[in-house]
Amino acid sequence: PKIAVFASGSGSNFQAIYDAMKAGDLTGSIALVVTDKPNAFVVERASIAGIETLAIKPANYPSKEAYEHVILQKLSELQVEWIILAGYMRLIGDVLLEAYPNRIINIHPSLLPSFPGKDAIGQAMAHGVKVTGVTVHYVDAGMDTGPILAQAAVTVVDGDREKTEARIHEVEHELYTKTLNQLFSL
């Protein structure tokens, strides 16, 4: 299928999906990258990959609805079938939820429902959990609340955020491509 990847940051998950598709390990193609942060590194990654980017700031629109209508227009033009969130730091609103029922997926760096929202890895470390992980889930109107598709556990490296985080990202890249492959071949 044709997908759009939404991202606000580094885009390592975008990269993993792109690389897996290029290698023939994941079916489908990325038609568009959408970002709310025009300076995010994901924009550079997309440009290197030759993928069109829609980089627009919500602050320049009168409402979330207006912002999402601009995105939806572009998604429709490109006949995008799935929205894949990869570090997109905003809640999805009704315009996109209604246009893409059960077709919006997110990845989150914790074992949901533990540690939703921002800095899930920091939250897990601060809480002192020994095992955290990664969750891939359907997106609904809530913050990291939709039905869970897949999870993988990651052992916390005691007191070492950097190592824990690196391992979580590695697991994210594997779990996301694997889960999307299953979804796309249904």
Among 1, 9, 93, 116, binds ligand GRF (CB under 6 A): 9
Burial 69-97 (b: 16+ CB within 10 A, else e): bbbbebbeeeebebbbbbbbeeebbebbb
Binning the chain into helix, strand and coil, the percentages to the nearest 5 are: 40, 20, 40
Task: State yes or no: residue 133 binds ligand GRF (CB under 6 A).
Answer: no
- Catalytic residue selected from 69, 108, 169, 173: 108
Please choose, out of 7-15, 123-131, 154-162, 177-185, the segment that lies near ligand GRF by the rule CB under 6 A.
Answer: 7-15
Task: State yes or no: residue 132 binds ligand GRF (CB under 6 A).
Answer: no
Closest distance between ligand GRF and the C-beta of residue 151, in Å? 12
Is 169 noted as a catalytic residue in this protein? Answer: no
Task: State yes or no: residue 13 binds ligand GRF (CB under 6 A).
Answer: yes
Please choose, out of 30-38, 62-70, 103-111, 148-156, the segment that lies near ligand GRF by the rule CB under 6 A.
Answer: 103-111
Task: State yes or no: residue 11 binds ligand GRF (CB under 6 A).
Answer: yes
Binding residues, by number, are 11-13, 64, 89-92, 106
Q: Which of 6, 31, 46, 36 is nearest to 81 (CA)?
A: 31
Q: Are 110 and 82 in contact (CB under 8 A)?
A: no
The three-state secondary structure class of 6 is strand
Question: Which runs of E-coded beta strand occur in the chain?
Answer: 2-6, 29-35, 53-55, 82-85, 104-108, 131-138, 148-155
Q: Which of 29, 9, 6 is nearest to 18 (CA)?
A: 29
Closest distance between ligand GRF and the C-beta of residue 110, in Å? 9
Please choose, out of 46-54, 97-105, 106-114, 124-132, the segment that lies near ligand GRF by the rule CB under 6 A.
Answer: 106-114
- List the catalytic residues: 108
